[in-house]
Amino acid sequence: MSEAIAKQLEYHTIEDIQNLPEGQRAELIDGELYMMAAPNRVHQKLVMTLSNSIFNYIQDKNGDCEVYPSPFAVYLNADNEIYLEPDISVICDKNKLTDEGCKGAPDWIIEIVSASSRQMDYNKKLFKYRTAGVREYWIVDPMKPQVTVYNFEHDTFEEYSFTDKVKAGIYEDFEIDFSVIHFE
């Protein structure tokens, strides 16, 4: 059997994720490992800015939800077939939170697109998040620059530019003004 065929037949598990060398990050979807590259500065600035905005809103409203920036483990399904590290996860059901991360679908996930994650964020993760019960999914694409908002509860999606205010669907009165986010 050729090495390429053997590699295709290789099925990975959560144990493979746990046994990665220190500092190496990967995601697991249906037995396939997806290695993760280190994020760039713009990516990290977006994660920090958006996480802070969401965190401050929740704190100001004395809300019950919690926000976690990556790296944060999300075991999307109970069968441990899908292990992801979304850029930002908002979890409102505290019963899903364990010392290891989130067991089940977060309420709101934000992914910041990078050149290496484009196909995953727009296709594979979109499908997995929707079918797992995530209520809302934002794809923030600094290369376009565009924010795509999928509200799975209402079966809608909208696209915004980085000059717009984007309303969060899981909250009545919360929006993020992308026009004030500076990338310098």
- Say how far residue 173 (Cα) sits from the centre of its chain: 22
Residues contacting residue 9 through CB under 8 Å, at least 6 positions apart:
none
pLDDT in tens, 122-134: 999 999 999 999 9
**Bridge partner residues of 27 (DSSP):** 34
Beta carbons of 132 and 77 less than 8 angstroms apart = yes
Tell me the C-alpha distance between 91 and 34, whole Å: 24
Q: What is the pLDDT of residues 43-96, one digit of tens each?
A: 999 999 999 999 999 999 999 999 999 999 999 986 778 999 999 999 999 999
pTM assigned to the model: 0.92
Residues whose CB falls within 8 Å of the CB of residue 150, separated by 6 or more in sequence, listed in order:
126, 129, 130, 136, 137, 138, 139, 156, 157
Contact 157, 149 (CB under 8 A): yes
Q: How far is 34 from 84, CA to CA, in rounded Å?
A: 10
Which residue reads 């026009």 in tokens?
Answer: 179
Burial class (CB in 10 A: 0-12, 13-18, 19+), 34: middle
Mean pLDDT over 108-115 rounds to 96
Tell me, what amino acid is at 23? Answer: G
> What does the pLDDT read at residue 80?
74
Contact 73, 85 (CB under 8 A): yes
Mean pLDDT for the chain? 92
